[in-house]
Structure 1
Amino acid sequence: MYSPIAAEEAVKVIKSNSRIYIQAAAAAPQSLIQAVSARHEELKGVEICHLHTEGAAPYANPEFRDSFHVNSFFIGKNVRHTLKAGNGSYTPVFLSELPSLFKRSIIDLDVAFIHVSVPDRHGYCSLGVSVEATLAAIDNATTVIAQINKYMPRTHGAGIIHVSEIDIFVENHQPLPGHAVVAPNAIEEKIGAYVANLIEDRSTLQMGIGSIPNAVLTRLTNHKDLGLHTEMFSDGVIDLILNNVITGNYKAINRGRALSTFLIGSQRLYDYVDDNPFVEMRASNYTNDVSIIKQNPKMVAINSAIEVDVTGQVCADSIGANMYSGVGGQMDFIRGASLSEGGKAIIALPSITSKGISRIVPALKPGAGVVTTRSHVHYVVTEYGVANLYGKTIKQRVKALVNIAHPDHRETIERSYFEMIGG
């Protein structure tokens, strides 16, 4: 059916000045990444594109700047240093629109690195825990190289491809990178409780991974008939599904299914989604399409931020002018939830950083990006409460956001804002 070769042989098709796309998150194929990185002495000017990836990224070593340049569509920790070092760039793009960059040949690809399950008896593989823009990359790339891995779950949905769509096969069986479930701290628990109180029965949820989403999920055990339509999820939803809290019965789109475009979690998550028809993996131009999201009644989008100014502008991708992460899918879901009947767009964050710096600010830092505009956000939540900004004037917003800032900073924030505007 297929004839695998060594990864070192497979990556020999890559030439200098070519462009590679790497499948995202926990699906980043480590054997191919290591093999192409090992060719740094003979390759020049290779552009490596991807969203956030788990695992090592040796090609991002600044010493290899002449060999590889990293083009991040979302900046992960393993390549964040490349922007200052000069061997990396960031391309701002909504996750919903990333596949279109490949489909419309705005970004042409020479090679796609993908990571798939073992083919079934009919010759079909699964893209497993990450679909995002990978289907578009497969269609656009001149050469598709796949790592076949028995540890890759076989997920249902759109990420099923036939071996005939793959040009070169590498067989390497290794467990996927995982994220342990971290218990929320006291502040995150308070935020989780406030957010959970905003969620009604029969709502459809979008949330990421991390302590705040986990804190929200642990508070939903008495809710009924919730749905899941998200770009990513982790272990926190499993028990809610098993206990019939998340059923999907009242979704308007993909009713009775949990929808996602990539997954990151523990081995328990990867085992749970394996051959599980309740979980449907789709490309990000579907999961993150505002026109699709908004059809779900009571759509609740829960996202976070680096800082929020007192008028409601949300910075989620940079610290001042220094890029930190990316636009991702925040605006896709904030807008989709806003347009949903009974929907709620929520930004949840601790009131201060670990160093005691307020994250509710009079004005965003110079150079900071506005990911969600003041016109889009509905609710901002900290451990001090909920600010409902929808339909509120600027003065009302200032008051509401100052009231959920850390008490040590409230007076300074309010005074600084009015001094700044000459009020």
Structure 2
Amino acid sequence: MPPIICNTALEAVSLIENGETIWTHSMGATPKLLLDALAVHALNRHDLTLLQLHTEGAESLSDPRLKAHLRHRCFFGGVPTRLLLQQGDADYVPIFLSEVPKLFRSGEQHIDTAIIQVSPPDKHGICSLGISVEATLAACQMAGKIIAHINPMMPRTHGDGFVHYQKFAAVYEQSIVLPQHPLAVSDPISSAIGKNVAKLVRDGDCLQMGIGSIPDAVLSCLTEHRDLGVHTELFSDGVLNLVESGAINNSRKKVHPDKLVTGFALGSQRLYDFVDDNPSVIFMDIEQVNDTAIIRKNPNVMAINSALQVDISGQVCADSLGTSIYSGVGGQMDFIRGAALSEGGRSVIALPSTAAKGTISRIATVLSPGAGVVTTRAHVHYIVTEYGIANMRGKSLRERARALIDIAHPDFREQLCQETFDIWRLRV
């Protein structure tokens, strides 16, 4: 049965009934027009649940009037949902990103409707999920119905993210510019961290990194490297610059050699133009991208991730500020473990030494009460701040404490030494 062709986004989402569990396409492919329409439609519905990762520009669904009608269920928090999570008005599900598609495919998490944004169908009737495949392919495979925003500005990307037009229950077409995330503005702290991390990167490494000022700073320091590869859950313009300079060519990878592998991309229009119909870039199901068994097959995996807080023993909190949920588990552990098992692999947790305008040390004697441990002290390898590099591999608690205090902000080192003795009974 062909899809219903709708004249408005509101008409498209009107297929959603009371009590439904809905998945929304995420990241740069967040179907903002359909979600804005859902914010209106939901006022006439009840018991709706919206499953999501990080969404871009979906603030309309955070309207307080929706509290009695729709509840967010987040596998990752972002700007539209962060306050709701911290107020207890949304639910957070701690889970490795690689496990989210499995949750859907196993039936553990039921999905009634998937709301997505796609490219126009090609001559075979196939649409592309474009710049964000992540868990949305699995959601489309398992959902009872799919509502699609067909956006002529969505790139048609290669890889796993294809859905046939005939599988849609309803479609609405309108051109709309995708979210733009240009390279982060460099600052002295991020630049210093970037230089320190770059010291650990070797020619031929297979990179995984995120987006933001620190990853961008790291990438800007790699222009003289050669034969770098990329197998990452997401990438931005910093990677594109290294592809164009020849530093990244993916020639030494064993899994998808000569291909840049990712789950989603977020950046400038220049980046979106680059991935459009580009067979050298493949967007894959995040269950495959973040599979430790696949990651480890590439030699010299270099996983670069961030954190909110690290304790003196090496425990890493990356999803919360104490009990206040900030983001999510994401793929950090997927890649840290994959890198550890890779021949010659390494992993880095990079973070500024302080927060709150220098008033709080991010390296703490103990994590804040309620803080979630995303990466355990047994998994952590390198921790990097603007003050240097601490290698945790094979180190005792006392050795870890000394190394971490050495890269903490100087204003807090004496205090950390005293607290380490008082709490841990370790003389450093």
Supply the AA of the counterpart residue of 2:171: F
- The equivalent residue for 1:195 is 197
- The equivalent residue for 1:12 is 14
- Equivalences for residues 337-352 of structure 1 within 5 A: 337-352=339-354
SS of equivalent residue, structure 1 residue 79: helix
Supply the AA of the counterpart residue of 2:206: T
Q: CA deviation at 1:3?
A: 5.7
Instruction: State the number of aligned residues.
Output: 423
**Structure 1 alignment gaps of length 5 or more:** none
Deviations 1:52-87 (CA, angstroms, capped at 9, x unpaired): 011123122222111110001100011111123333
Of 24, 32, 50, the match for 1:30: 32
Deviations 1:370-407 (CA, angstroms, capped at 9, x unpaired): 00000101100001100011011111101000000001
Alignment TM-score, normalising by the size of structure 1: 0.98
Structure 1: how far apart are the matches of 2:288 and 2:38? 31
- The equivalent residue for 2:81 is 79
SS of equivalent residue, structure 2 residue 199: helix
Structure 1: how far apart are the matches of 2:85 and 2:143? 26
Structure 2: how far apart are the matches of 1:380 and 1:62? 40
Aligned residues of 1:130 and 1:263 also touching (Cα < 8 A): yes
- Equivalences for residues 37-186 of structure 1 within 5 A: 37-186=39-188
Aligned residues of 1:26 and 1:55 also touching (Cα < 8 A): no
Of 401, 409, 415, the match for 1:398: 401
Deviations 1:106-162 (CA, angstroms, capped at 9, x unpaired): 110110001100111111111001001111101111110110001101111010221
Q: CA deviation at 1:244?
A: 1.5
Of 192, 195, 220, the match for 1:218: 220
- Equivalences for residues 270-285 of structure 1 within 5 A: 270-285=272-287
Structure 2: how far apart are the matches of 1:383 and 1:215? 12
Aligned residues of 2:42 and 2:48 also touching (Cα < 8 A): no
Of 366, 370, 376, the match for 1:363: 366
Structure 1: how far apart are the matches of 2:218 and 2:151? 34
Aligned residues of 1:206 and 1:230 also touching (Cα < 8 A): yes
Structure 2: how far apart are the matches of 1:396 and 1:84? 36
Supply the AA of the counterpart residue of 1:407: P
Aligned residues of 1:144 and 1:166 also touching (Cα < 8 A): yes
SS of equivalent residue, structure 2 residue 42: coil
* Deviation larger for 144-153 or 10-19: 10-19
**Structure 2 alignment gaps of length 5 or more:** none
- The equivalent residue for 2:419 is 416
Aligned residues of 2:307 and 2:350 also touching (Cα < 8 A): yes
Deviations 1:213-272 (CA, angstroms, capped at 9, x unpaired): 111111111101000000000011112111211011101111100010011111111111
Q: CA deviation at 1:301?
A: 0.3
Structure 2: how far apart are the matches of 1:40 and 1:10? 13
Q: CA deviation at 1:41?
A: 2.7
Compute the RMSD of aligned alpha carbons. Answer: 1.1
2:382 is aligned with 1:379: yes
Supply the AA of the counterpart residue of 1:350: P
- The equivalent residue for 2:355 is 353
* Deviation larger for 360-369 or 77-86: 77-86
Structure 2: how far apart are the matches of 1:414 and 1:146? 56
- Equivalences for residues 218-257 of structure 1 within 5 A: 218-257=220-259
* Deviation larger for 162-171 or 201-210: 162-171
- The equivalent residue for 1:308 is 310
Aligned residues of 1:62 and 1:85 also touching (Cα < 8 A): no
Q: CA deviation at 1:32?
A: 0.9
Alignment TM-score, normalising by the size of structure 2: 0.97
Structure 2: how far apart are the matches of 1:340 and 1:422? 36
Structure 1: how far apart are the matches of 2:406 and 2:272? 41
